[in-house]
Amino acid sequence: MKKKRSIVLFIAQSLDGYIATKDESLEWLMKIEGEGDNGFSEFYETVDTVIMGKKTYDWLMKQDIQEFPYKDKECYVFTSSVVENTENVKFVNDDVTHFIHNLQAKDGKKIWIVGGGELLHSFIQEKLVDEFIITVAPTIIGNGISLFREGDYHLELSLKRVRNFNQFVELHYKKRR
Ligand SMILES: NC(=O)c1ccc[n+]([C@@H]2O[C@H](COP(=O)([O-])OP(=O)(O)OC[C@H]3O[C@@H](n4cnc5c(N)ncnc54)[C@H](OP(=O)(O)O)[C@@H]3O)[C@@H](O)[C@H]2O)c1
């Protein structure tokens, strides 16, 4: 299979590696003083496809949003249940590698894996993530939902860039070939 585009994780975590508290709060993250939109729109321009796990989707739909934030992209939500597609989202219950390889065989921009940790775990085990852009908040929350889960994997990355948005540090890594 010829891979025509890459999979990028773009996510924020606490200094101790959590993406949300156990009760799914992101309050600790929202109150950090960043700069502009902390590189989000610049990154968002580079993708045309958005992928997330069902818990991240459910969290998003519980927020006070006027409209679906990724309306202008192709959006897929992984779930083991059968859920009817919406105007904005296609629900996927497929082998992750098979699904991603099909997407990557098509021309287009990059593919964003939004999270959360559980879906990312399947992607990491299959070595599907080409780039990791992790924005670190200057907060230690002690426990919560981990970005990385324990498993039998080993990935070697190279550091592409480090920059800061006021109190946030953005780490950008690429998978080594
Ligand atoms: N800090 C950030 O930037 C950031 C970004 C994203 C998310 N989050 C937070 O992360 C939390 C959710 O993360 P999470 O790790 O608990 O859950 P998650 O990865 O978002 O979703 C887990 C669910 O996705 C489905 N899933 C995962 N892997 C699958 C696979 N290989 N095949 C089919 N379905 C699969 C399953 O849904 P079913 O149970 O329906 O089968 C599973 O229960 C939320 O609180 C969200 O706010 C934070």
Atom nearest to 117 CA in ligand 1: 15
For 8-43, the pLDDT digits (tens) are 999 999 999 999 999 999 999 999 999 999 999 999
For 41-92, the pLDDT digits (tens) are 999 999 999 999 999 999 999 999 999 999 999 999 999 999 999 999 999 9
Q: Name 5's bridge partners.
A: none
Q: How does the average pLDDT of the chain come out, rounded? A: 97
**DSSP reduced 3-state for 134:** strand
C-alpha to C-alpha distance for 65 and 148, rounded to whole angstroms: 28
The string of DSSP codes covering 115-126 is: E-HHHHHHHHHT
Q: CATH code at 165?
A: 3.40.430.10
Atom nearest to 83 CA in ligand 1: 40
Give the pLDDT of residue 4. Answer: 96
Q: pTM for this one?
A: 0.98
Which residues span the domain enclosing 159? 7-175
Does residue 162 form part of some domain?
Answer: yes
| Distance between Cα 82 and ligand 1 center (Å) | 16
Going by C-alpha positions, the residue among 134, 118, 115 that lies closest to residue 52 is: 115
Share of the chain above pLDDT 90, in %: 98
Confidence category of residue 103, pLDDT binned at 50, 70, 90: very high
Pocket test for ligand 1, best of 24, 26, 52, 56 (most atoms within 8 A of CB): 56
| Number of domains comprising the chain | 1
Pocket test for ligand 1, best of 79, 82, 128 (most atoms within 8 A of CB): 79
Rg (CA), the chain: 16
C-alpha to C-alpha distance for 155 and 58, rounded to whole angstroms: 30
Q: How many CA atoms lie within 13 A of 169 on its CB side?
A: 9
For 128-174, the pLDDT digits (tens) are 999 999 999 999 999 999 999 999 999 999 999 999 999 999 999 99
Does residue 1 form part of some domain?
Answer: no
